[in-house]
Amino acid sequence: MVTTLYIIRHCQSAGNAGGRFQGRFDGPVNEQGEKQLDLLSLRFRNEHLDAIYSSPLVRAYRTAEAVNKFHGLPIHKDEGLLEIDVGEMENKLLSQIGQEYPQLAANWDHAPDLCVFPGGETMAQVYHRVGETIARITEDNLGKTVAITTHGGFIKNLYARVQFGSIQGLRQSAVFGNTSVSILEVEDGVYRWKSVNDMSHLPVELQKAPMQYSFHTEAL
């Protein structure tokens, strides 16, 4: 019995475009994000879905609503799908964080598994939360097809877990674009990626991230 999980990163938000390390800051969707949502809804128009789960943050929930536009399913808000709690660094400019927390910034860029966010989570806690959440959603939907809208930090941890089998895999984990769709299949407790980071529903100009994944160049 195969359970299919569509793992979808949220649309672009003002914080993404503004170079801020959002974490759980609940900022608005920007104009580019709105365009991405319209196209994402069409991407899922003819896909069979049994359930939809979303992080409670606006940028993720709006993404779930777009996925749901032609389905009319209940959207289950799940706090396990939240972005990393980055504590006192929340919504700060990445350039500012690079100056104030140089060791943490260096870890994020080169050894993210070692990150400990002051007043927030450790990356080890995030990695554990991601595994627990996906296992629980899978167990509740065995044999079904589920859409999950969440965040870049969550998906990077999930990718590391499935692809590399350890938190150290974060050092090689993929970068996931806004409204990217990845398909994760689960059978007899075995997880495997069917596809990763598909943004084919977007034109090239809407696929481009405003910055790269580094404290000096891109927002989480």
Enumerate the known binding-site residues for substrate. Answer: 9-16, 59
Distance CA 32, CA 46 (A): 24
What are the backbone dihedrals phi and psi of residue 67, each rounded to the nearest 5 degrees, phi first?
Answer: -60, -35
- Listed in sequence order, the residues at least 6 apart from 215 whose beta carbon sits closer than 8 Å to its beta carbon are 21, 94, 95, 97, 98, 105, 108, 109
- Report which of 4, 88, 13 is spatially closest to residue 58, judged by C-alpha positions: 13
CA angle 30, 85, 129 (to 5 degrees): 115
Q: Which residues are annotated as a binding site?
A: 9-16, 59
